[in-house]
Amino acid sequence: MDKKEFKKALDNILSQYGFQYINKAFYHDNEEIITVITTQKSNYENSYFINFGFLIKRESPEVKYPKVTDCDVFGRFVLECCGKQYQSVDLDFFANETLSAAAIQFIDANIKPTIECGLSKYFEVNPKAIFVASLKAKRYLNL
């Protein structure tokens, strides 16, 4: 898979979940949070990381299109394929179908529940994420 195919596959996947591509990132906006997903090219391999973040709208009402690093909670996709976990998408290894299946699995387990049920759901699914959450997020959730 080349870079263009990778970006198109990711766009096709994320658009199914209501994400829109704006300013080199994918955004989903609901009443509580803005979810952002970006790609990051590896400096060492022919691979990309897929990063995500959740911004609490009430805590940052002026921000419409946050960067992942602006978010109150952020992380990186971990894709499962062939019994192994990958933190990056190696374009020489991942086929379009493999990427789609792994990304959908991650989104369904981590991103979709957070969008549907709120930020507290993310910490139920990923309890260790509380250690990297911003102080604003911890206060917002009374943690």
| Domain residue ranges of the chain, discontinuous segments joined by + | 3-140
pLDDT digit string (tens) for 11-24? 999 999 999 999 99
Q: Rounded to whole angstroms, how far apart are CA atoms 47 and 27?
A: 22
Q: Of the candidates 51, 54, 30, which has an alpha carbon nearest to the alpha carbon of residue 119?
A: 54
What's the mean pLDDT in 83-94? 91
CA dihedral sign, ordered 109, 113, 119, 125: negative
pTM above 0.75, yes or no: yes
Amino acid, res. 49: F
Amino acid, res. 108: D
Q: Of the candidates 88, 115, 83, which has an alpha carbon nearest to the alpha carbon of residue 99?
A: 88
pLDDT digit string (tens) for 102-111? 999 999 999 9
